[in-house]
Amino acid sequence: VGDTRWHPDHRADPSADCFGVKFAFYLDPVDAESGALRLIPGSHRREFHYQLHDSLNSLELDVADVPAYVCRSEPGDVVAFDMRCWHASSGGAAGRRMCTCVYYNNPKGEVEEAATRERAVNSKKTPAHFGRAEQSMYPLEWLRNPSGSPKRGRWLRRMAELGYFELPAVP
């Protein structure tokens, strides 16, 4: 895997991107040398976020040369962070096992809803970005809601309304 360069998952401008929290959990122990997540504290704040954008892209520093908090992790730990934070990793070995889950709040108001719709458009590009264009981000069985859960049904309808996916036809 090697290094993952410095990047935020979202922009800091609330009119350009919705806010979210990413939960990352590693299935193997990780530290500074073996691919642990590194976060730049305060980088979710708008002014600092955009200063880093300009600086990190122009300076071309190695991941390990940027002062950051290293999130050492053991199996069973969960690291939660604001998706506007700049983050990276260094030294990740081939086969490093990591899972992530993202939480987005239901948007309130027109500005948040427009930003969430834009995020939905960008989310559809994620599988292709990681070389898995044929893979859906949402398992068909989950989208079908076979148990008829009213709560999941509300989530699915709202996510479809915001543009994350089209609901499958139910036989």
pLDDT of residue 95: 80
Look up the pTM and report it. Answer: 0.84
pLDDT of residue 57: 75
Do 20 and 58 touch, CB atoms closer than 8 A?
Answer: no
Long-range CB contacts (within 8 A, 24+) of 98-103: 98/24, 98/25, 98/26, 98/27, 99/24, 99/25, 99/27, 100/22, 100/23, 100/24, 100/25, 101/22, 101/23, 102/20, 102/21, 102/22, 102/23, 103/20, 103/21, 103/23
- If pLDDT is split at 50, 70 and 90, which confidence band does 54 have? confident
3-state helix, strand, coil in the chain (%, to 5): 30, 20, 45
Q: Which CATH class is domain 2-105?
A: mainly beta
Give the Cα separation of 156 and 59 in Å (integer): 43
pLDDT of residue 14: 72
Please report, for the chain, the start and end positions of each structural domain, with discontinuous segments joined by +: 2-105, 124-171
What SS3 class is residue 117?
helix
Do 51 and 149 touch, CB atoms closer than 8 A?
Answer: no
- If pLDDT is split at 50, 70 and 90, which confidence band does 18 have? confident
The more confident residue out of 125 and 77 is 77
Strands (E), 14-137: 20-26, 37-39, 69-71, 79-82, 87-92, 98-104
Nearest Cα residue to 20 out of 123, 99, 146: 123
What SS3 class is residue 89?
strand
